[in-house]
A and B are shown apart, each in its own frame.
Chain A
């Protein structure tokens, strides 16, 4: 009953070779693989003529939690090789790990992610000892390009080291106890034939110890655990992609650069390096970047040199990337190289680096063979469309105030978020939407692909929106589109990751006006929107908090002397005011701090006048401004008065009207005291400023002015009587010029 353990790193071509060699050598009776035990019965499905990569997608929902997870396979996955080679060698192939819905996987989205934090300290010390950048480079150095001689022993030593140093959690221990039961049963069943066990190397030392110890009395094949009654769960095959496999773009992933390792698996490291050097050059030239022949020669020389210095027989991934970077980048970089820092590409990355990372990541996408059972999303979508009467083509008009129509609208919006064809919006108002539905053959295939996002339309749309929020980065327009789509698709209740991603984007936004507009919209949705059901949504609350913090930060950084008032900027300050007034409970910025910022801006001679006026208004709106009359007097320069007032009126209109006669009196005095020339300079901005008052309030102002000057007549007449003010201004300018000429000639 010999049992051979092959400890692997998931998605490692070297480990895949090791598995293939072990199976060919031992011709085992059983091949046991770390994978969901409840899928063993459906291995035939997995072995249809699919295009890799693909994944087993598992969803689970019960009273306490919903969970979705993936078990991805690509051509060079050791688990995939064990599966196919094991079958070909006539062995009985089984998955022996706990099912993916099991609580032991509660915080894992990817069964084959490395979960490296368990042994970070051990790898850090190894990296230091061998003077390599990080665990990716370490792995390549020790395993992928180190040759197959003694590879198995090296791996055993490596995994013994990392396991020996780290504390396995209860989740790991539970999985290992379960896998050990399968191994004992298989060993008993195999008689004197071999058993090959393919699991993550982290588990191998423990499994070896567990199977050597006497059994816990439970003999025979273990049973596959079933979820508690009432839980809904299922596992399906879904197409996967290299993009999602790559650590540079995904989270919780394993080995980076799938395209590189695919080529390494197919043709070895030298062929992979050569082909990818060429590919990077092609991609750069397509982007109109100059890559000369001497650059390419330099890249090859440097790659070779690095490989030799680091003791590699053929270049490793880091040698290739380092060589390319040294040869192709001839400027200073704004950020550390992503393969050194193990970080995703930041904005402003060097184009050569972007193309290098992109080429090594690749864009292969998997496809399921015809006849594969469709993922649950396909059934869920069909059932939803039928239930809501959306399964026949034709135009539809949906009134969002009716619950059933709102549900229909959300379903159609979710399909659009997922890129599923067949439903096109034709018109949209606040409460009504028009749609055209068409029967579309492409719908099912699009749904199969989208099936990788989730089991139901709501879950899948949420996951797809997360991805879009991540891709939007700091682009305010794109982020606003994600928010809008989330509101329309009814995905706002689920805060979590979308909120975090949007928060990250907002925290780095630089478009003051755009962010202000977004804040105003979101604030409205958060406070009132009963139609879309977004009132009080935690997602929007998080966005409001982030936007206010960021706007205050941006406001204080705004510089620039006299410039015409910018309505967008003023609207943004008004949005801050509304958020401080109505959304205080969800803000992390204290009101005093916000008003402190406002006070500093209003006193800052370098800030634009409209922003200073608005900042002063913000303080006044919360009774924190001292002596408005004095402030108005302080802004009395004819060139900036109108802009300053535009800011003040945009934010603190009510205070101006209700704050007693003082401010209006000062204004009257100031405007009355302007010389003719100054008045003409100030006039356009003053007009713009007073536009912030609606006609009724303008009338109030006019009446007060009349009262103040002791004149009779109605305020309305004063406003109505005025002809086109531009004509008046032109006339006055003409008069003044005539007077000047007359004075010059001594005629006046």
Chain B
């Protein structure tokens, strides 16, 4: 039963990016129909089926949607079935939000109860606020109450997503304390049974936080204790990441009207460079300084896109390692001279040691870095 305030299904389908439960409606239905395992109270699917929705199930024609360790998904789901919340932490661009969306869609069939954290987030946006016209006319009543995602999630027994929780002020974060531990939210303005909203089965919270902004160190210990932490890592496997970058870049390039697909050997150099800078360690084990800039898979895709566009529109070919250098300056180094220096050292001291024509080209093009 969709919430009355939720957009009608048709509108969602025309949206630029419909929520996961709409995008994967067919898969969810298949899983639901064949799901015989017991479901935790309030869940739309059993644990096993929810897990298969995310890690994929060739037997039921369900695609794999998250390429990290399957055990991470297992731990996340089991956590949600207990009384602790789930905190997904990790570098930017590691698909934390996608994972939280998929989990909410699988567990509750609804991933739209989302609070976006930010410096200006207030308690109103988390719990509830008022329709002031009605409030003035009738006084506080369930009719004049405008529920925000937390209240709705508790009342309907659904998973609430809290994105970028650490970007909120500490006091605002602590709003979650009693919903998480006592599973109840007080509405002191109302009287009678409406003054307390008790969470129904199926309610829980998935928060995400990235380790770059402010980190989780500033969270209160009380709140930390109510969450189980799961760190989401960049894609561990080179081949998987390369494949993803290739597919995404090819799609974007086609969209941009570029007539040739990206070159595999150029992409290999690009993805290797990103991975090594991101990990601060070369494939040979040498430690390096990691740039401050975010070097996620998503950034690699956008560099691959830029390389293709440069190559095609400037010279009518697929783009070379030299184009990588030019594009890297803008993405990997942004405006930080420090990062630029790290990048230059990498190109000079590491690229020169690799075999292969594209590595040589990368090394030769190091002078194209600005500054």
Contacts and interface: CB of A to CB of B under 8 A. Distances in A.
Interface of A: 128-129, 131-133, 137, 298, 301-302, 305-306, 308-311, 318, 322-323, 325-327, 329-333, 335-337, 340-341, 474, 504, 507-510, 549-550, 552-553, 556-557, 588-590, 593, 596-597
18 contacts: A131-B55, A131-B56, A131-B70, A133-B70, A133-B71, A137-B71, A302-B79, A325-B75, A330-B225, A330-B227, A330-B229, A332-B229, A336-B236, A337-B69, A340-B71, A504-B285, A553-B288, A557-B342
B78 A306 contact: yes
Contact of A507 (B215, B230, B285, B345): B285
B349 A322 contact: no
Nearest to B230: A326
Interface in B195-253: 211, 215-217, 224-225, 227-231, 233, 236
Contacts of B289: 557
Given A309-B47, A309-B51, A326-B78, A132 B71 contact: yes
B99 to A, nearest CB: 15
Given A133-B70, A336-B233, A507-B286, A326 B211 contact: no
A306 B90 CA distance: 23
A485 B211 CA distance: 42
Interface stretch (B9-17, B81-89, B107-115, B320-328): B81-89
B79 A556 contact: no
A504 B215 CA distance: 31
B58 interface: yes
Interface string B316-352: 0000000000000000000000000110010011001
Nearest to B346: A553
Contacts of A323: 75
Interface in B48-104: 48, 51-52, 55-58, 64, 69-72, 74-75, 77-79, 81-82, 84, 89-90
Given A301-B82, A330-B228, A588-B353, A306 B287 contact: no
A474 B285 CA distance: 11
B284 interface: yes
A596 B345 CA distance: 11
Question: Most chain-B Cβ atoms within 10 A of its Cβ — which of A322, A332, A333, A337?
Answer: A332
A332 B236 CA distance: 17
Nearest to B215: A332
B75 A326 contact: yes
Nearest to B348: A593
B265 to A, nearest CB: 23
A519 to B, nearest CB: 16
Dominant secondary structure of chain A at its interface with chain B? helix
A508 B47 contact: no
Given A326-B75, A549-B349, A305 B284 contact: no
Nearest to A130: B70
A322 B75 CA distance: 7
Contacts of A322: 71, 74-75
Nearest to B46: A309
A589 B286 CA distance: 14
Nearest to B211: A332
B82 A332 contact: no
Contacts of B90: 332
Question: Most chain-A Cβ atoms within 10 A of its Cβ — which of B55, B90, B233, B352?
Answer: B233
Contacts of B341: 556
Contacts of A306: 74-75, 78
Contacts of A597: 348-349
Given A298-B84, A331-B229, 12 more contacts: A302-B79, A305-B47, A305-B78, A309-B48, A309-B78, A326-B229, A336-B233, A340-B72, A507-B284, A507-B285, A549-B286, A597-B349
Interface of B: 47-48, 51-52, 55-58, 64, 69-72, 74-75, 77-79, 81-82, 84, 89-90, 211, 215-217, 224-225, 227-231, 233, 236, 281, 284-289, 341-342, 345, 348-349, 352-353
A313 to B, nearest CB: 15
B89 A332 contact: yes
Contacts of A308: 47
Nearest to B366: A596
A305 B55 CA distance: 18
Contacts of B215: 332
A10 B199 CA distance: 51
A343 to B, nearest CB: 10
A336 B52 CA distance: 22
Question: Most chain-A Cβ atoms within 10 A of its Cβ — which of B58, B77, B215, B231?
Answer: B231
Given A137-B71, A306-B74, A552-B349, A326 B228 contact: yes
Nearest to B352: A593
Contacts of B58: 129
B353 A330 contact: no
Nearest to A588: B353
B50 to A, nearest CB: 9
A323 B349 CA distance: 43
Contacts of A549: 286, 349
Given A336-B233, A593-B352, A556 B284 contact: no
Contacts of A337: 69, 71
Contacts of A508: 281, 285-287
A333 B231 contact: yes
B72 to A, nearest CB: 8
Nearest to B363: A593
A133 B263 CA distance: 31
Nearest to A137: B71
Contacts of A552: 349
A373 B253 CA distance: 72
A80 B347 CA distance: 54
Contacts of A509: 287
Contacts of A557: 289, 342, 345
A593 B350 CA distance: 11
Nearest to B344: A600
A205 to B, nearest CB: 26
A596 B352 CA distance: 13
A474 B345 CA distance: 21
Given A133-B71, A332-B229, A596-B348, A302 B82 contact: yes
A553 B56 contact: no
B287 A507 contact: yes
A327 B228 contact: yes
Contacts of B229: 326, 329-332
B62 to A, nearest CB: 10
A560 to B, nearest CB: 13
Contacts of B48: 309, 311
A476 to B, nearest CB: 13
Question: Most chain-A Cβ atoms within 10 A of its Cβ — which of B51, B52, B74, B90?
Answer: B74
B51 A131 contact: yes
Contacts of A302: 75, 78-79, 82, 228
A549 B282 CA distance: 13
Nearest to B282: A507
Contacts of B286: 507-508, 549-550, 553
Given A137-B71, A553-B345, A326 B353 contact: no
A556 B231 CA distance: 32
- Nearest first, the 6 closest Cβ-Cβ pairs linking A and B are A508-B287, A507-B286, A305-B78, A332-B89, A131-B55, A333-B231
A549 B353 CA distance: 11
A302 B71 CA distance: 12
A479 B216 CA distance: 36
Contacts of B52: 131
Given A331-B216, A341-B236, A326 B79 contact: yes
Contact of B216 (A129, A310, A332): A332
B231 A332 contact: yes
Nearest to B38: A308
Contacts of B57: 131
Contacts of B352: 590, 593
Contacts of B71: 132-133, 137, 318, 322, 337, 340
A322 B69 CA distance: 12
Contacts of A309: 47-48, 51, 74, 77-78
